[in-house]
Structure 1
Amino acid sequence: MAVNLNTEIQMLKGVGPGKAPALQELGVHNGADLLEYFPRDWEFLPETAQISELTPNANVCVCGVIESTDYHKFKRKPIFEIYLIDTSAALRIIWFNGGYLANQLHPGMRLAAYGKVAKYKHQLQMTNPRFKILREDIPEHDPKQLGGAVYPASASISSGMLKYIVRKNIDELSDCVSEYFSESFREEKNLLSRKEAFRQIHSPQDEKHLSAAKRTLKYEELFLMQLGLAVRRYRMRSFAPSIAMKFSPQLDRRIRQRFPFFLTEDQDKAIEEIVHDMGEPKQMNRLLQGDVGSGKTVVAVYAALMAIANKTQVAIMAPTEILSRQHYHSISRFLEGSKVRTELVTGKMSVSEKNRLTEQISEGEVDIVIGTTALIQGGIDFQNLGLAVIDEQHKFGVEQRAKLRKDKAPHCLVMTATPIPRTMTMTVFGDLDVSVIKTLPPGRGRVTTKLVSPENRNKAMEYIRGLVKAGRQAFFVYPRIESGESDRNLKSAEEEFELLETCVYPEFSVALLHGQMPQEQKKNVMEQFRRGEINILVSTVVIEVGVDVPNATVMVIENANNFGLAQLHQLRGRIGRGASDSFCFLFSESDNETAIKRLEVMQKSTDGFYIAEKDLEIRGPGELFSTRQHGLPDLKLANIVEDFEMLRMAKKDAEQTLKEDPFLDTQENQNVKKAIIKNSAPAWG
């Protein structure tokens, strides 16, 4: 039976109904899935040789049957010894300190051993070679085919069996793939054909052929991602007309009078870019990224007032109620005494209150509406939405952003206080123009970060006592609310709150704040802390964003090694918001070298962009963002950090392709068009 990419997995050679469930557990349901089930590693073994033909210092692979085993554990250097025989001779193989092999290798087993042959007491032997047990359940296991691909396996199916199944089907399946690029384009970019790339990725002749296959398939992944983003961006600009906002020097003066300070150069540049975008009859889609405390809210207020001056409404959406309330209070302060009406929408509002407010919004009586996802959960319809501001954009998926816009096309400004590495601005945020605020407003105090070892803990606590006595306020942040069985080493906010309140700092007012508390209680605690009635606030990461208390100049982060660098930087951003110097203490009892190295990055720098790049290097892109959340295809081979130069090339090529063929209508682009419709559906939504 001829197979193709849509052939069900159980119908492929070597599978059948017995092995199909194990493959389906790995996400392999048809021929296309098997073709794209890429190896996790590749082994290239020396040439297979007969034992009788071995010579000293040769690097070879030998295959045979284990004739005997022996463990000499009482020697000065314990050794595990076997004799391997093939049809020509026997070979002594030893492993120093190899007692662990006594339960793995037994007489009668078929074994491949690869390493260097040496002469010892007139006898050839191998010392500490790598080896592979040759399984009997793969009948066509050819010693010449040892090495090569190593697949991600499971308890139900081994890497060897996966390799066997792929080898059985690779030629027929790779013949079914469509080419994405013309021959001339492939020659220019030094790419293999897709058919050859799939063959070589699964069954490479050598490392050179493997490298060419990986390069081709990585480029393909990145090109499709960038083309999907470019299409989404093009469609937003071309088919989502927005109100062209009028602007004048008089309007600029009126807006700036609302701010009791001069704006920084970076803020002015961001405003200039936003004013230009909002003046166009096509939708603005701009990302405003700036370090914690850099003044993004001021820029957002400027954009909002420009929209209101053009007789349109503004929606501001934040991921948490604490952050939305923070925006409501700070924006209300800027607009005090003005005719601008600002309202806060929360999930806790009564039905009658929400109905009344919804009606006023639909009648155009409210200018700025601030809220959480309650803004997109039905019922709220703006009379004339001109600007949508989405804060902490990385916490919202592309579908949630689209819901806020609904059938209208307001200008869209998305903000984040998490500095984004350039690799991610080209992927997750690749459909947005980017404005960056790097400089902090003048008059901010310095923030000093200290990594505190267990032996210096008491000393740090006494130092904090002195700071609080002097009138400063402090945050104590913990990784979880309550203690649990899963990891007793993690400290909890509830337990430590009691300890701090009764034993450590009984002379101070200590309060607890976490996400599971009733909303009214959280609001009251934050207000008391803001007014200075609480000296020490014990919290979870609920204070990561949206808490602005200039007098809070001390932060302790317990079990700091359990947080990512970007999150630690976000937390640290809650202090240093006033003129006084601030102190962040990272408490960690981990002796893990990688964990210590990460925390030392925090101690070394307060530059969020530097920290974000380091976080991406250490943790990898997979942990930092979900491509599916943002409507992008998953990357199976490419890595946006390691393959950054290729990413840049793919972005440039994708943009050029769309410039030459905006609708991808030419015959040459039909296959890539089908691929991005399949993989990046939101781009065509």
Structure 2
Amino acid sequence: MKLSDSVQYVKGVGPKMKEKLGRLGIHTVEDLISFYPRRYQDWTKITKMEDLRPDEEAVIYGEVADIRKIMPRRGMTILNVLLTDGTSAVTLVYFNQPWKEEQFRRGMHVLAYGKIEYNYGKLQLSNPEIEFVSPEELLTFQKLVPIYPLTEGIRIQQMRNMISFALDHVEDLVENLPEETLASQHLMGRLDAAKAIHNPVSWEQQKEARRRTAFEELFFMQAGILLLRKKRRSHVMGIKCAPSGQLVRSVLHQFPFTLTEGQKQAFTDIENDMEGLVPMQRLIQGDVGSGKTAVAALALAKVVENGYQGALMAPTEVLAGQHYRTFQEFYKGLPIHVAYLSGQTKTKERNEILKGLKEGDIDVLIGTHALIEEDVVFAHLGLVITDEQHRFGVKQRKALETKGGYPHILVMTATPIPRTMALSIYGDLDVSSIRGMPPGRHPVKTYAIGSPLLQRVFNFMGREMTAGHQVYVVCPLVEQSEKQDLASAVSVYEELKTRIFPMFHVGLVHGRMKNDDKEQVMRDFHDGKLNLLVATSVIEVGVNVPNATIMFVYGADRFGLSQLHQLRGRVGRGSAQSYCILYSDNRNEVTQLRMKLMCEIQDGFLLSEKDLLLRGSGEFFGYHQHGMPDLKAADIVKDLPLLEDARREAGKAVDRGMDFKEELSHRFGGAFFKKLYKE
């Protein structure tokens, strides 16, 4: 039996069971073997009967004192087996299993596991799992029983039997890690680990089996990424720029601020990349307001100084237009011709821009998805920058990058995560992190409130708007109930507009509006025509409205910490003190902890780490990473040290010339494999 065989080849799997296993994502023998336990019952921790509490699971050990079978009515039997350990007694109860009586004798010793119940004035276990273990054997008895996340119609023992059969009969579960790695990391063999993770004899063995299995997943993830990077570096000759000269220095001189240490280091990384022979592929991650745009402006000035053009693509017109205005200020009076292109650009102006691009008269083009249209042709594209890169699909980013030969690539994100994880999540990109905030930025005061304080907050909003400031009000949007959420947001908008703030201009933006209408509302808020903006979805990342001083979030418990921090970053951009108010009546312990963390922590990197620990990496990222294999045993958050070890070992293997073609093809699938071996 092979790993790729259908699960129907496993004993006990008929058509109906095959269908049930399919609901768990189990289709092949390999799927079955890699369906790992969610937890384990520890049969080595025995609770004295006098210490038992109802509704708790427990392991007990005692001597059989009495055996009684009763038949309360025709067709029904109840077997009661009384166990005692000298401190108290517990009755094992079996319904309609008369044959069980033959297994027990007075005086024998039994180990039993189950949920403690208190019925008819006595403690009992209904249909418990049992082991017959003598007092002598108990001294060395060790057993951890695997528990799986099952679906209806599959019993736990059936799953254990099917997995056990598969492990005993599979032929090609052979070693796939290099011998050097196994030795240096002190790892179990692959087959031994698979057997031990499903049936460990001790916690130590379980821990080692999981470590081996998780390491294997992370090792091949890293090997794929490193091989992709190796291919890029060895097969492609990029644009080698000269050291930064007068133009870059002039831009630096025109900044109305001094670069932070984080910005300086990020630009040094970019300079080193652009002055090398290999095209830059770098991710700049920085907290909201950390100054990524200034670094991007320097990178674009550098490529222009070397005779090439640059492009910056942003996900929305509001954000792209904001970048355009910012760059015009940064480059004022300097020989850098900046143009702006979007879906709203008039035909005559668009044709002039396309002509200027093709002839090389335009140095920097800033815009939206309009940049990737077929008729947008650059004379000498040398640098492509994507802002908030997670908002674009892989094909969209690629479409812009291929408008040059092998241009330098810079992507930016305001959702910071631990650097080691970023190396995995963002594939073959090098990572720079901008820590710290520019001087003069006031921390945003953050408060978590419930219904009793709502009216006071509305009064406060009114005072802020009367003083000339603006307010965001965000309502959560969950895909499963989009209509309901939209209705909720509309009712919030109507209430604020007609009853609470009739004297102010209130706007509404939501996902079901046409893009043009949505952009217009956002533009009106940006231009100060609206005092208050209600939004169903997250306010466009990066939009800069310095006059906005309050971010009010309805249903704050329905956002992750990183999302809440992104929202908070929409305010605090001007000289006035700003506030973030998180509204929720959810008293759940985890919710309260998240609200407390938001009120206490301003650092986005630290918050994202807390968010990952609270929510897990899958929920945090919210979408399947392109080309990344699923992780079944490893957890990128909890296994960061293991990830670092795996990356280091994968690097050594790749340096030795190993390519793992078959393994990577199997794990990564067609798209990634083609990118690595075919292109």
| Fold-level similarity (TM above 0.5) | yes
Q: 1:38 aligns with which of 21, 36, 39?
A: 36
The letter of the residue matching 1:221 is E
Q: Cα offset for 1:145?
A: 13
Residue 47 of structure 1 contacts residue 61 of structure 1 at CA under 8 Å; is this kept in 2?
A: no
- 1:190-220 per-residue CA deviation (whole Å, 9 max, x = no partner) reads 2111111112222333333222211111111
Q: Which of 530, 534, 545 is the aligned partner of 2:541? A: 545
Residue 340 (structure 1) aligned with residue 336 (structure 2): yes
Runs of at least 5 residues in structure 1 that lack an aligned partner in the other structure: 49-56, 71-80, 96-100, 119-124, 135-143
Worse-matched range after superposition: 334-343 or 346-355: 346-355
Q: 1:642 aligns with which of 635, 638, 644?
A: 638
> Which has the higher mean CA deviation after the structures are superposed, 417-426 or 496-505?
417-426
Structure 1 pair 596/445, CA: closer, same or farther in 2 (3 Å)? same
Which residue does the alignment assign to 1:59? Answer: 61
| Letter in structure 1 aligned against 2:97 | G
Cα separation, partners in 2 of 1:337 and 1:47, compared to 1, 3 Å: closer
| One of 6, 9, 21 as aligned partner of 1:11 | 9
Alpha-carbon separation, structure 2, partners of 1:394 and 1:518: 22
Q: Give yes or no for the alignment of 1:478 onto 2:480.
A: no
In the alignment, the residues of structure 1 paired with residue 518 and residue 529 of structure 2 have an alpha-carbon distance, to the nearest angstrom, of 15
Q: Which residue of 2 aligns with 1:108?
A: 97
Q: 2:233 aligns with which of 221, 230, 237?
A: 237
Superposed CA RMSD: 3.8
CA contact under 8 A between 2:283 and 2:430: conserved in structure 1? Answer: yes
Q: Is the 8 A contact 2:505 2:529 kept in 1?
A: yes
Aligned residue identity for 1:14: G
2: distance between equivalents of 1:499 and 1:614?
Answer: 35
Name whichever of 393-402 and 260-269 sits farther off: 393-402
**Match in the other structure for 2:20:** 22
- Equivalent position of 1:77 in the other structure: none
- Mark the CA change 1:187 to 1:277 in structure 2 (over 3 Å): closer, same or farther: closer
Shift of 1:265: 2.6
Which runs of structure 2 are paired with 1:343-354 in the superposition (5 Å)? Answer: 343-347=339-343
Distance of 1:404 and 1:547 partners within structure 2? 23
Q: The residue matched to 2:440 in structure 1 has which SS?
A: coil
Checking the alignment, whether the CA contact within 8 Å between 1:447 and 1:584 is kept in structure 2 is yes
Determine the structure 1 residue equivalent to 2:49: none
Aligned partner of 2:292 in structure 1 is 296
Displacement of 1:301 in angstroms is: 1.1
Equivalents in 1 of 2:281, 2:81: separation in Å?
68
Contact 2:360 2:378 survives alignment (8 Å): yes
CA drift at 1:622: 1.2
Deviation of 1:629 (Å): 2.2
Q: Following the alignment from structure 2 to structure 1, what is the Cα–Cα distance between the partners of residues 319 and 191?
A: 51
- 2:625 aligns to what SS in structure 1? helix
**Distance of 2:25 and 2:333 partners within structure 1:** 60
Decide which moves more: 407-416 or 589-598: 407-416
Structure 1: distance between partners of 2:482 and 2:242: 60
Q: Whole-Å Cα distance in 2 between the matches of residues 499 and 83 of structure 1?
A: 64
**Conserved? CA contact 1:201–1:213, under 8 Å:** yes
Aligned residue in 1 for 2:274 = 278
Give the distance between the partners of 2:216 and 2:323, measured in 1 at CA.
42
Residue 431 (str. 1) matches residue 420 (str. 2): no
In the superposition, relative to structure 1, how do residues 43 and 131 fare at CA in structure 2: closer, same or farther (>3 Å)? farther
2:135 corresponds to: none
**Structure 2: distance between partners of 1:537 and 1:37:** 47
Measure, in 2, the Cα distance between the counterparts of 1:512 and 1:235.
48
Change (3 A) 1:21 1:506: same
**C-alpha displacement at 1:576, in angstroms?**
0.5
Q: Is the 8 A contact 1:4 1:176 kept in 2?
A: yes
Distance 1:130 1:368 in 2: 74
What letter matches 2:303 in structure 1?
Answer: A
The answer on whether the counterparts of 2:25 and 2:31 sit within 8 Å (CA) in structure 1 is yes
| Residue 415 of structure 2 is aligned to residue 418 of structure 1 | yes
Q: Which amino acid aligns with 2:461?
A: I
The amino acid of 2:271's aligned partner reads V
Match of 1:155 among 152, 155, 169: 152
Kept in 1, the 8 Å contact 2:290–2:438? The answer is: yes
Amino acid at match of 2:631: L
| Residue 290 of structure 1: how far off its partner (Å) | 1.2
Identify the residue that residue 322 of structure 2 maps to in structure 1: 326
Equivalent in the alignment of 1:214: 210
Alignment of 1:100-499 (within 5 A): 106-108=95-97, 114-115=112-113, 127=123, 129=125, 132=128, 148-173=145-170, 175-183=171-179, 185-347=181-343, 358=354, 360-376=356-372, 378-396=374-392, 398-406=394-402, 408-480=405-477, 492-499=488-495
**Native 8 Å contact 1:291 1:437 kept in 2:** yes
Aligned mates of 1:331, 1:167 — CA distance in 2: 64
Contact residue 323 and residue 546 of structure 1 kept, 8 A? yes
Q: Which residue of 2 aligns with 1:576?
A: 572
1:620 aligns with 2:616: yes
Tell me the residue number matched to 2:506. Answer: 510
Rate the CA distance shift 1:238–1:65 in 2: closer, same or farther, 3 A. Answer: farther
User: How many Å apart are 1:601 and its aligned residue?
Assistant: 0.6
| Shift of residue 485, structure 1, vs aligned partner | 9.2
Deviation at 1:352, TM superposition (A): 8.4
Distance 1:623 1:673, change over 3 A: closer
Counterparts of 2:274 and 2:299 in 1: how far apart (Å)? 9
**Deviation for aligned residue 1:60:** 6.3
Does residue 1:535 correspond to 2:531, yes or no? yes
- The range that moved more, 670-679 or 240-249, is 670-679
Asked if the contact 1:479–1:492 (Cα under 8 Å) also holds between the matched residues in 2, the reply is no
Distance change >3 Å, CA 652–CA 128, structure 1 → 2? farther
Structure 1 residue 501 corresponds to structure 2 residue 497: yes
SS class of match (2:323): helix
Question: Residues 342 and 367 of structure 1 are in contact (CA less than 8 Å); yes or no, is this contact kept in structure 2?
Answer: yes
Q: What letter corresponds to residue 494 of structure 1 in structure 2?
A: V
* Residue pair 2:474, 2:554 contacting (<8 A) in 1 also: yes
Q: Deviations over 1:322-358 (max 9, x none)?
A: 3223323322333345553434443566788767755
Structure 2: tracts of 5 or more residues without a match: 47-58, 73-77, 101-109, 131-140
Alignment-mate amino acid for residue 193 of structure 1: G
Indicate the SS of the match to 1:419: coil
Match of 2:424, SS state, is coil
Q: Secondary structure at the match of 2:530?
A: coil
Please report how far the alpha carbon of residue 294 of structure 1 lies from its aligned counterpart in structure 2 after TM superposition. 1.4
Kept after mapping to 2: 8 A contact 1:243/1:281: yes
Whole-Å separation in 2 of the counterparts to 1:5 and 1:481: 39
Is the partner of 1:209 in helix, strand or coil? helix
Do the aligned partners of 2:419 and 2:433 also contact (CA within 8 Å) in 1? Answer: no
Aligned to 1:75: none
Offset at residue 66 of structure 1 (A):
9.0
Cα 1:148–1:308 change in 2 (3 A) is: same
For residues 378 and 570 of structure 2, what CA distance do their matches in structure 1 show? 33
> What letter corresponds to residue 24 of structure 2 in structure 1?
L
Contact 1:313 / 1:384 at 8 angstroms: preserved in 2? Answer: yes
Matched AA of 1:114:
A
Number of equivalences = 631
TM-score, structure 1 normalization: 0.82
Post-superposition offset of 1:422 = 3.1
Call closer, same or farther: CA 1:109–1:555 in 2, change over 3 Å.
farther
TM-score w.r.t. the length of structure 2 is 0.83
1:559: Cα distance to partner?
A: 0.8
Change over 3 Å in CA distance of 1:445–1:626 after alignment to 2: closer
Offset, 1:128: 5.4
- 1:108 maps to amino acid: Q
**For each residue in 1:129-162, what CA deviation from the matched residue of structure 2 results, as whole angstroms up to 9, or x when unmatched?**
585479xxxxxxxxx9997332232224343322
Residue in structure 1 matched with residue 51 of structure 2 by the alignment: none
